[in-house]
Structure 1
């Protein structure tokens, strides 16, 4: 059996305790938690006034999530993914049902990427399902008239009481044209990759791909995951651009890139997108860093266009759907069924495409991987959504494969442990 190289223990111990408390990501949330015990099976509706400015096409929205007593997630909806907010105050509403065993209903504001995102006049109402009467469930500081620092009823993050700060965002009250009263909530996003002024579009395979470049030197193409965009690599660009020319691209139907509604979203069609993309940029050979679905694309590029690929590093990749852990697959199938069932006005079409992509593809076999010629680093968290044995088998099946399982980490290793992850991949790329 060929040699599999894992992470050195000293590297793990050194970096596992050195992560910054401030999170670097392209989104943030502001949340309030409401006790809904005893209201199981009641209907609820959450509404708020929302608008955006200086957004360059980026979006925001309201969201809510039920936390159950069995520590499982219940109802969840984030309008960011389905509804485009405008530059004028409008009312947006989420309707749902409180799950059995529900304890907490989290309600909040969500903003992504660069822009000024305004929220005002949050309202929460419940109904027992038997009468037509809706009862107000009061939210504290719902119009943001009080100081956010004094009235700590809202928390940054997605879990009330567990505050996490996103470095590129500020959250404050604003007196600039509130919907009512004297103030509204303002979430500002600044200097976030994926919506920078120097970004460009290139025509490829019948669509337009959006990309940004950073640094100089040998090219490194970074490919994001299923529901992500190039801003997923906010924790990587700075370190990698010191040594390489970093090229980050929104894959079709994600971020700012377009898509053809008449063409099924598959990995094969995306591989052809990327081949044409590299040709348009006159890149003859590149290293690829791929995360999740981006790792799948890196593997497929190495198989189909070996002369174009120098090395690949793949985090959280699988080569067939059953490589995903069974409980995650079960949840994905249930969520897809729900999306299809509730696809009024076709608002869920994009999400349905993304779920189908991972539930139907790719369909490689382990023996296919013996044809990968380049050095390949296969990475996963020890608590990844991908089965550990699947990750190990992928690395074993590639002739020049290396394996790194990151302890105390999930599918989001590049975000959770960026210092360790970046050092690991850069050392792999640098090692001749």
Structure 2
């Protein structure tokens, strides 16, 4: 599992890191908050690199990409991804976003509709009320110590600068703490075929994923027996459910190839 291409592109004032695996129809992989390309998508890349051209991008403040001294927004992330893709001559692709990356890919579909072939939105949300009880209260009290250890280790492996890790934690926290509900129009404007996925024990309520699915015309819905992301990657303790991951990735593959 080696990238066929990797490097940086200077877009919107900062250098963003990307990696490309395999060949075929382009599928852009957008990681979640606090994470990076391979942390979220390693299992996906292993299973799909012989069938798609997989393009992973580390978002601002994350992984190997540079950081900005302004608050993070999903809109900025969407514009950053679109700009990187233009730089590497990808005019149209499918997108798979996980967690906050799911929010980002919905904004890409809203802001850059011409770039989007199909959309996979995994464990995302668009209204505060959609998150499980106590989520935003615990975000208000989050401290650097409460950041999951695997995230810290992963970041420092890619970017061994502790102050940048603190910056990432600070920016990610603030984005969630200050999140304002999106208008339904963000979702109803999505024209591309869309697959919504979440776990039945995810950080967003299954009902919320259903509500999002209802707003997007001809969308598909998949609720799987899993916690946050464990249907596509290892759990925080490093364990993973191979059968469930195989199932999810096969369903996504069918959706993308249909």
Structure 1: any 5+ residue segments left out of the alignment? Answer: 1-190, 340-344
How far 1:367 moved relative to its partner?
4.1
Gap change, CA 1:218 and 1:337, over 3 Å in 2: closer
- Show the counterpart of 1:84: none
Give TM-score, length-normalised by structure 2.
Answer: 0.83
User: SS where residue 326 of structure 1 aligns?
Assistant: coil
Where does 1:41-60 land on structure 2 (aligned, <5 Å)? none
Partner of 2:254: 427
Partner of 2:154 in structure 1?
A: none
Q: Is it true that 1:200 corresponds to 2:7 in the alignment?
A: yes
Would you say 1:252 and 2:70 are equivalent positions? no
After superposition, residues 26-425 of structure 1 pair within 5 angstroms as 198-231=5-38, 232-261=40-69, 263-336=70-143, 348-361=166-179, 363-407=181-225, 409-412=226-229, 413-415=231-233, 416=241, 417-425=244-252
Q: 1:347 to 1:314 in 2, by over 3 A?
A: closer
Is the 1:266–1:361 contact (alpha carbons within 8 Å) kept by the matching residues of 2? no
Q: Is the contact made by 1:230 and 1:250 (CA closer than 8 Å) also made in structure 2?
A: yes
Structure with the greater relative contact order (CA < 8 A, sep ≥ 6): 1 or 2?
A: 2
Q: Give the equivalent residue in structure 1 for 2:237.
A: none
Alpha-carbon shift at residue 199 of structure 1 (Å)? 2.4
Choose between structure 1 and 2: higher strand proportion. Answer: 1
Deviation per residue, 1:353-411 (Å, 9 max, x gap): 1111123236312343211101000000000000111110000010121110002x011
Distance 2:91 2:205 in 1: 34
Does structure 2 retain, via aligned residues, the 8 Å contact 1:321–1:358? no
> Unaligned 5+ residue runs, structure 2?
147-162, 234-240
What is the TM-score when the length of structure 1 is the normalising length? 0.51
Measure, in 2, the Cα distance between the counterparts of 1:198 and 1:285.
Answer: 18
Alpha carbons 1:212, 1:248 under 8 Å: kept: yes
